[in-house]
């Protein structure tokens, strides 16, 4: 799989990759210098993500599949995606009310896969990663990349992780948090660290052995090790909030631009601003609708939020609900674009 050759690589790098690199370095710098950031302020990126890239990056799903197939989205294609969200997202929403601890574990697992899935596409389509040749390598890369934001914070900041899990589950059943206690045991975290570290080393080593060109492998290794340090040093709420907006979401937006003829034309003319403006117009209606649904969720949960962390927890539950059907849409895009072949 290759990116569209008519769009210059430098343009794609500026849109999809450079912002994530720069902001990650900017965020990690204070913590390397021993500077602390107030806990309340660390929630700001997740709050902002409701309108800046985070929530909007999935608000074009109703157009994405048809465009990926080279078709103009018609009402049938749009209705199918809406039905997918209603059935899959609705069932998952019910699961949060019935079994919140299990729903939280599923949220972590789905996000682990999805964020790894997003980075795999970026490596193949934007960085021409020829070293990821086999299916096992691509699966390994998904596990490694998704584990950076989902597992490393558990290993480095278990109490922060427990706090966030408690905030989410307590919206529905405070007593259910006890079912997650096993994940925070020292022996479990040690075993996970050893297994994950081995997976990182093997995946990168096999990629190095199979690489024809060194630059894509160096980018892969540099991003992997850089994010490993980032998530090990930056507290999870802040680290994930910034990553969600300016790493994962922005890379997916770039993917959407490359299947939109008008946006691609703008990128070919070195005008990413026009391409992003078109995305913003496409995403605006369902972003607004999603925020309204989030407000409705407030009235449904048994224990409505009162503090900023609890409001962010409610937002994360909503993100979880819409992520599951979003993963189905992105997986269809993967199939159409040959990500796994």
Does 264 fall in a domain? Answer: yes
Confidence (pLDDT) at 121: 96
Kindly indicate the confidence band of residue 4, based on its pLDDT and cuts at 50, 70 and 90. Answer: very low
Confidence (pLDDT) at 33: 87
pLDDT > 70? residue 1: no
Q: What is the pLDDT of residues 43-67, one digit of tens each?
A: 999 999 988 899 999 999 999 999 9
Whole-angstrom distance, CA of residue 82 vs CA of residue 337 = 22
Report the pLDDT averaged over residues 193-206. 97
Confidence (pLDDT) at 41: 87
Confidence (pLDDT) at 26: 95
What is the b/e burial string over 283-312, where b = at least 16 CB atoms within 10 angstroms of the residue's CB?
beebbeebeeebeebeeebeeebeeebbbb
Residue 12, number of CB atoms within 10 A of its CB: 23
pLDDT > 90? residue 324: yes
Whole-angstrom distance, CA of residue 97 vs CA of residue 283 = 29
What six digits make up the tokens of 157?
Answer: 């900041």
pLDDT > 80? residue 187: yes
Mean of pLDDT over the chain = 93
Does 3 fall in a domain? Answer: no
Confidence (pLDDT) at 2: 38
Q: What is the pLDDT of residues 68-102, one digit of tens each?
A: 999 898 889 899 999 999 999 999 999 999 999 99
Report the pLDDT averaged over residues 225-238. 96
**Can you give the residue range of the structural domain that contains 84?**
9-28+41-337
This prediction has a pTM of 0.93
Confidence (pLDDT) at 311: 94
Does 34 fall in a domain? Answer: no
The domain tally of the chain equals 1
Does 57 fall in a domain? Answer: yes
Does 35 fall in a domain? Answer: no
Cα 249 to Cα 52, 78, 122, 240: the distances in Å are 9, 21, 11, 12
Does 33 fall in a domain? Answer: no
Q: Which residue has the tokens 């900017």?
A: 26
Confidence (pLDDT) at 208: 96
Q: Which residue has the tokens 């969200």?
A: 85
Q: What is the pLDDT of residues 276-307, one digit of tens each?
A: 999 999 999 999 999 999 999 999 999 999 89
Whole-angstrom distance, CA of residue 75 vs CA of residue 197 = 47
Does 1 fall in a domain? Answer: no
Confidence (pLDDT) at 39: 82
Does 309 fall in a domain? Answer: yes
pLDDT > 80? residue 330: yes
Confidence (pLDDT) at 34: 85
Confidence (pLDDT) at 77: 87
Report the pLDDT averaged over residues 30-52. 89
pLDDT > 60? residue 5: no
pLDDT > 50? residue 326: yes
pLDDT > 90? residue 256: yes
pLDDT > 60? residue 3: no
């Amino acid at each position: 799989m290759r990116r569209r050759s008519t769009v210059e690589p430098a343009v794609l790098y500026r849109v999809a990759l450079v912002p994530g690199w720069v902001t990650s370095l900017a965020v990690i710098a204070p913590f390397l210098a021993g500077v602390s950031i107030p806990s309340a302020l660390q929630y700001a990126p997740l709050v902002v993500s409701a309108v800046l890239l985070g929530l909007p990056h999935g608000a074009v799903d109703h157009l994405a599949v048809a465009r990926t197939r080279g078709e103009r989205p018609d009402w049938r294609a749009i209705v199918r995606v809406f039905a997918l969200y209603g059935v899959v997202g609705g069932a998952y929403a019910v699961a949060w009310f019935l079994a919140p601890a299990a729903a939280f574990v599923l949220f972590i697992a789905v996000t682990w896969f999805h964020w790894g899935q997003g980075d795999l596409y970026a490596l193949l389509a934007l960085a021409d990663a020829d070293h990821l040749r086999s299916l096992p390598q691509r699966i390994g890369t998904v596990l490694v990349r998704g584990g950076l934001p989902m597992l490393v914070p558990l290993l480095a900041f278990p109490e922060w992780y427990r706090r966030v899990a408690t905030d989410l589950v307590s919206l529905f059943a405070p007593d259910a948090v006890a079912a997650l206690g096993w994940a925070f045991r020292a022996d479990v975290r040690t075993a996970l660290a050893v297994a994950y570290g081995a997976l990182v080393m093997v995946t990168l080593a096999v990629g190095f052995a199979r690489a024809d060109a060194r630059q894509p492998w160096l980018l892969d290794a540099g991003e992997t090790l850089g994010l490993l340090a980032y998530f090990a040093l930056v507290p999870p709420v802040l680290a994930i909030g910034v990553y969600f907006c300016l790493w994962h979401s922005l890379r997916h937006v770039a993917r959407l631009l490359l299947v939109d003829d008008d946006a691609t034309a703008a990128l070919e003319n070195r005008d990413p601003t026009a391409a992003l403006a078109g995305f913003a117009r496409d995403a605006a209606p369902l972003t607004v609708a999603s925020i309204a649904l989030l407000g409705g969720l407030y009235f449904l949960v048994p224990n409505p939020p009162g503090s900023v962390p609890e409001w962010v927890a409610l937002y994360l539950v909503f993100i979880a609900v819409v992520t599951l059907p979003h993963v189905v849409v992105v997986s269809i895009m993967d199939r159409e674009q040959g990500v796994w072949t």
